Amino acid sequence: MQNKTNDNNNNTLNNNGISFSSSDLETFAQLIKRSQQNPTPSEPKIKTTLTEEEILGEDNLNPNQILNKLDEYIIGQANAKKSVSSALRLRWRRKRVDPSIRADVSPKNILMIGPTGVGKTEIARRLAAIVNAPFIKVEATKYTEVGYHGPDVDTIIKDLIDVAISNIKSKIAESHKANIEADVEKEIITNILGPNGSNGSIEELTKLYRNKSIETIMVEIDVPNSFDKQHSSSIQLDDESPFIRLLVPGAASEKNSKKRKVTVSEARAILEKTYREKYTVSQDVTKLAIQSVEQNGIVFLDEIDKICTPRENYKNGGDASSDGVQRDLLPIIEGCNVSTKYGMVDTSKILFIASGAFHNSKPSDLISELQGRLPIRVELKPLEEEDFYRILTEPRNNQIKQQQALMKTENIDLQFTEEALREVAKITFESNAQIQNLGARRLHGIIERIIEDISFNCHLYKDQTVTIGVEDVRKKLSDLLLKTDLSKYII
């Protein structure tokens, strides 16, 4: 009997049947008292649903504006940037011409030719980011001719659809951000106090929740089984495969949920994901994704030079990963309907940008039909010493700014003298010319080598200003300079 009395004294049931210990109640009392000194944050502003036009986007920038945006991130290569800017503007024009002409207007597909590290991939990636278009970068060498073992080129479009669906879900969730936060807050507060909680209790607990003062309090919520599967199972089931679901235990009941006791912080993350999915169901994501891919999709085909056979080697026969792949690419680039699990996708208006270094082959070694489907040909120039200096100093988020921001988190003020940056550019250029040409990618390794001691011994430089000079650069890169000098004598 005595034990029962103690249990009643130490534990209290709320209206929802969840027990709180005396220490929890004491914590609540202290937090409520503290919250009364702070005003309640304003109610979240509810945002309306996105329209179809807002989701699909409108690339209404003129070519000069697109070029200026590309200049913020990419140094040089003016011809290539002009070509992609004009190709992107063509979409805006095509949507506004007479419907009788529109069907015959084809995208200006591009073939970029240039050594590695000069900006081919970055141009295409930034172009897609400017208009928030579905974008995918693929290596042409990963595909094989239809009928052979390995992925065929149709998977390019299937992967592009997946990218578009992810983008659209993110846009819809962002438009409902205030609604989602309000729904999550309401569910957590209700689960803590129960459905019959008084207005005063709800108001005080809401203050605590918004001030993140109850992050470690335990709360019981409904967790969809699908959430656990995504985090604990390596089996990825396709929503369009009901027969496969029947073979996997528990897959058929994925829409069910179960009770779980988690902290408020964990509950917020789980419920936000659940409500994001609920709001995306309100719009036809699949239909919008297909429209987005068909109207705005961009495919970057890298290393296309690796799938073409030099004319002198034709006597050795074809290759399932070369000429056969080129022939399979023809209908997709020309325009055809590709079957995906979400429906048919028309590829006739997708912008294709192919690129290659063409060290061991020539663009003319591509089959003539494929050359005709890549009408715009752009040659990118190798980077000079001055280009490397500009890459270090001019782009919006250049490597020096990135390193300075990272060191700032350790309370270290990292500085480079202009002479040091000039020396880095010079060494990078010489290394590319005499060892192996990696283009701008070599800068990453060189900068990391220069600051590796500072990065590792960051605790020794806390609250200090560290300035990198010319001698520091030469000392750190002395072995690289030695390799450069010796390479002159290698036959």
Q: Say whether both 284 and 150 belong to one domain.
A: yes
Q: How far apart are CA 491 and CA 484, in angstroms?
A: 14
- Flag whether pLDDT at 40 surpasses 60: no
pLDDT class of 121 with cuts at 50, 70, 90: confident
Arithmetic mean of pLDDT over the chain:
79
pLDDT class of 452 with cuts at 50, 70, 90: very high
What global pTM score does this model have? 0.73
Q: Say whether both 427 and 474 belong to one domain.
A: yes
pLDDT class of 124 with cuts at 50, 70, 90: confident
- Flag whether pLDDT at 155 surpasses 80: yes
CA 243 vs CA 202, 246, 282: distances in Å:
46, 5, 26
- Flag whether pLDDT at 384 surpasses 70: yes
Q: Say whether both 318 and 461 belong to one domain.
A: no
Q: Say whether both 48 and 191 belong to one domain.
A: yes
- Structural domain includes residue 85: no
Contacts of residue 237, Cβ cutoff 8 Å, sequence gap at least 6: 244, 245, 248, 251, 254
Task: Give the model confidence (pLDDT) of 70-93 as tens digits.
Answer: 998 999 889 999 999 998 888 888
Q: Are 382 and 320 in contact (CB under 8 A)?
A: no
Stronger pLDDT, 257 or 292, i.e. the higher one: 292
Q: How many domains does the chain have?
A: 2
Helix/strand/coil percentages in the chain, nearest 5: 55, 15, 30
Q: Say whether both 253 and 398 belong to one domain.
A: no
Q: How far apart are CA 120 and CA 233, in angstroms?
A: 38
| 231: containing domain | 1-57+132-349
CA dihedral sign, ordered 129, 131, 133, 138 = negative
365-400 burial string, b = 16+ CB within 10 Å, else e? bbeeebbebbebebebeebebebbbbbbbebeebbb
Task: Give the model confidence (pLDDT) of 186-210 as tens digits.
Answer: 888 888 887 776 777 888 888 888 8
Mean pLDDT computed over 269-296? 85
Radius of gyration of the chain (CA): 29
pLDDT at position 319 is 54
Phi, psi of 184 (to 5 degrees): -65, -45
Tokens representing residue 59 in the block: 């690339």
The set of long-range contacts for 359-363, using a CB threshold of 8 Å and a minimum separation of 24, is 359/115, 359/305, 360/305, 360/310, 361/305, 361/308, 361/309, 361/310, 362/310, 363/111, 363/113, 363/305
Phi-psi region of 144 (alpha: psi -120 to 50; beta: other; left: phi over 0): beta
Q: In 3D, which of 185, 318, 339 has the Cα closest to residue 264?
A: 185
- Flag whether pLDDT at 4 surpasses 70: no
CATH number of the domain bearing residue 411 = 1.10.8.60
- Structural domain includes residue 98: no
Of the residues 289, 322, 349, which one is the last residue of a structural domain?
Answer: 349
- Structural domain includes residue 162: yes
Q: Are 19 and 13 in contact (CB under 8 A)?
A: yes
pLDDT class of 484 with cuts at 50, 70, 90: low
- Flag whether pLDDT at 123 surpasses 70: yes
User: Which residue shows structure tokens 């050359």?
Assistant: 371
pLDDT at position 453 is 92
- Flag whether pLDDT at 243 surpasses 90: no
- Flag whether pLDDT at 348 surpasses 50: yes
pLDDT at position 218 is 87
